[in-house]
Amino acid sequence: MKNLVVGGAGYVGSVVTRLLVEQGHEVVVLDDCSTGHADSVPAGVELVQDDIGTAGRVLASGDFDAVLHFAAKSLVGESVVKPSMYWRTNVVGTRALLDAITEHGVPRLVFSSTAATYGEPEVVPITEDAPTRPTNTYGATKLAVDMMITNECAATELGAVSLRYFNVAGAAFGAGERHATETHLIPIALDAVLGKRDKLDVFGDDWPTPDGTCVRDYVHVEDLARAHVLALTAAEPGHHLICNLGNGNGFSVKQVIATIEEVTGLPLPHTVGPRRAGDPAQLVASADRAREKLGWVPEHDLARMVADAWEFKQSLGAR
């Protein structure tokens, strides 16, 4: 297929781009590189360094079989204090993209959604039928986009798949996390191991979980990328499929710390402080629908996620 990857210079987008190229697909990347990195786009792939609003011009240049959409503002805390920026970029920007997709007759869309659409769950593991009650602007904007896509598919012949990620980790095909503002546990913890941070802050050890620390569902970015490629063939005209992507198993903060120390062979300095407001005790996905509809099964465990992230993190020091 010929694919336009919007946001293909970012963490997940660049890994998906590299997998698509490896599998023989033609790829064009559209990314303004405000948070992504131009050098994450593999050699031989055209990079259009511009805003999502220019997607129509890119799509007009050739017959595209699919759009994979990763472009978004994604910092939860920032979304709360700068909501207008998140609604403008994530929702208004995607509206322009959907208009361009319709105008140029692109038949398939794969959208990077998020578990933040669910908010604080009533039942764990979380299924796609769970109530969607986002607790921050980021989650609200992603839910709004999912709703727009549902409406678009009902009104046109667009076939779309939204993939709601849980906690993505690891590195693949030479690409990994390089966020200017890092909020993810594993890369923050690895920075503490490397001495780039004084320590890791653990927010509470008195949660109603087996060891008292928060439990999250982690999925390897390579497994995540495979789900996007599978979604390209699963998209059905006039239908919007929503699938959770997670391992279906939760790991506590203490388990992540123990795994990092085991994989790196180094101590992870950390301190335990009070709970952080707004943190759910457990977020674990049910990935049964992805297994059934996409034929997707995650292959990599937590140790592999940490090992790949550790290797990539160390490689950055040599650049």
List, in sequence order, every residue forming a beta bridge with 272; answer none if it has no partner: 202
Nearest residue to 172 (alpha-carbon basis) of 26, 7, 25, 315: 315
Q: Are 272 and 212 in contact (CB under 8 A)?
A: no
List, in sequence order, every residue forming a beta bridge with 270; answer none if it has no partner: 200
Q: Are 210 and 252 in contact (CB under 8 A)?
A: yes
Ramachandran sector of residue 299 (left: φ over 0; alpha: ψ -120 to 50; beta: rest): alpha
Q: Which two tokens stand for residue 84?
A: 């207008």
CA distance 25 to 44: 12
What amino acid positions are annotated as catalytic residues?
138
The residue with tokens 């009070």 is: 274
